[in-house]
Each structure stands twice: as structure tokens, then as C-alpha cells.
Amino acid sequence: MTVTPDIPVIAIDGPSGSGKGTIARRVALALGWHLLDSGALYRLVALAAGRKGIAFDDEKSLALLAASLNVRFGSDQDGNEQIWLDDEDVTAAIRTEDAGIGASAVAGLQAVRDGLLGRQREFRQEPGLVADGRDMGTQVFTDAALKVFLTATPEERAKRRYKQLKGKGIDVSLPALSRDIEDRDRRDSERSVAPLRPAEDARILDSSSKSIEAVTQTVLDWASEL
Ligand code: C5P
């Protein structure tokens, strides 16, 4: 596997529900580039820890787990993402709010972040990579050719998550979801380790009143200027 800094990266960071996952997928598809959903890795660590009975404050065991996760990313016949942990399809299991909250807890541990760093950088393959997360532009790919920080109002983000989860048949309440999003935002932004913030050279894009197509096009326009 070749990992080289010459391969271009587009980093798309932002808070939960800002639409970065959807936008990153569309941009990667349009460019024919690889995609890294870094949040899925933190969700996988939380899920695997829960199954193995490892506490979310057991930094040493969590770091070992993060570094040794046996994970495979793929897609089904319709192009929908599929994620396997060992031999189990965990695509749905990692998308629950619980997995998100667990992910946010383990993501606050430096040793876990270090354990996942090399794995994330391995996604940098020809012809290019679109990486989505919280610290793609500030930590993992500081030399990214384009850094986008995607935002949206907290109300809009809660609504989007609500629709997304309902669409997947997951039962949630909007007020509970708003609270979870607020808590997660606070934890992600206030933590001492890799806090959520735009890179100094990031371009800020507010998606609140914009369609998915319009936001995707803006990122593609910026990419074409590279
Ligand atoms: O993006 P997603 O909601 O799947 O991320 C789940 C959690 O993982 C986030 O709330 C955040 O705490 C953590 N995360 C992170 N760094 C990343 C991606 C996700 O800390 N690059």
C-alpha cells in the first residue's frame, strides 16, 4: 500500500448533522476519489469496547483496541456503505445515537486518537481522498489541498439527524436528539484533545439554508480551483 503526501486530500470537518458525511460522499463520487468516514472509526471503537466490556475511561485497553480493530469498509450492490467488524455487518449498529455518544467519549482520549491516526492516513490513495470528520484539517491531513468547515444551525442539524435516523427505522425523539447534539457539540469543542474547530486555512461553509446539491457544487467549485 502506497501512502504519499503527493496525493491530494479534501478535508471536510464540522459538527454532527452539518451534512459533512453526505457532502463528502458526493464530492468523492463526483471526483472518483476515495472516501474516509473517520467518525465511523470512533464509533467502531465504542461499539467494540461495549461488546468486550471495556470501560470508556480505560485508555490503555481502548488504545490497543483502536490500533487492532479488524474493520472492513465496502458497499452493497446498490452502492450503500457497509462496514464489517471482524465478520459482523455493523453498518446499522454504529449509526445509533448510543454509538455516537460512545464515540464522542472515546474520541476524547489521546491514546485512542493516536491508535487511529495511521489507519486514517492509509486511506490516502491515488487519485485522491475526501476525508470527513472533526480534525481532518487540523490534525490528520494538515497538508490537505482544500479544507472545508461545514456548519449549520443546531436546530437544522437536529432536524436532519431526526429525518436521517427515522429514515433508517431508528426510533428517536426530536427534543432528545437536540439535547444529544448540544452535549456532543460541547464535548467535541471543549475537549483538550483535538477539539472541533476550523483549521486556520479552512473555508467556512454554512449549509443551513442550502440544498445538498448546492453545497456539493460549492465544494467541487473550490476543488476545481486547486
Ligand atoms: O461524525 P460522527 O458523528 O460519526 O462522529 C462520532 C463522534 O466521533 C463525534 O462526536 C466525535 O466525538 C468523534 N470524532 C472525532 N474525530 C473525528 C471524527 C469523529 O473526534 N475525526
pLDDT recorded at residue 169: 86
Domains in the chain: ranges and CATH: 9-220 (3.40.50.300)
104 lines ligand 1 (CB under 6 A): yes
157 lines ligand 1 (CB under 6 A): no
pTM value?
0.91
Distance CA 136, CA 138 (A): 6
DSSP letter string, 27-41: HHHHHT-EEEEHHHH
Q: Where are the alpha helices (DSSP H) in the chain?
A: 20-31, 38-52, 59-68, 97-106, 110-121, 154-167, 174-190, 212-224
Distance CA 195, CA 74 (A): 29
Q: What is the pLDDT along the chain (226 residues), one digit of tens a residue?
A: 445 678 999 999 999 889 999 999 999 999 999 999 999 999 999 999 999 999 999 999 999 999 999 999 988 877 788 999 999 999 999 988 889 889 989 999 999 999 999 999 999 999 999 999 999 999 999 999 999 999 999 889 999 889 888 888 888 899 998 998 888 888 888 988 888 999 999 999 999 999 999 999 999 999 999 8
188 lines ligand 1 (CB under 6 A): yes
Ligand 1 atom nearest to 194, measured from its CA: 20
**Cα(95) to centroid(ligand 1), Å:** 12
pLDDT recorded at residue 4: 63
Give the cell for residue 147: 479544507
Distance CA 83, CA 148 (A): 25
**Cα(210) to centroid(ligand 1), Å:** 23
- Tell me which amino acid residue 28 is: A
Supply the DSSP symbol for 202. P
184 lines ligand 1 (CB under 6 A): yes
pLDDT recorded at residue 2: 46
Distance CA 39, CA 116 (A): 11
**Which H helix or E strand runs over 205?**
strand 203-206
100 lines ligand 1 (CB under 6 A): yes
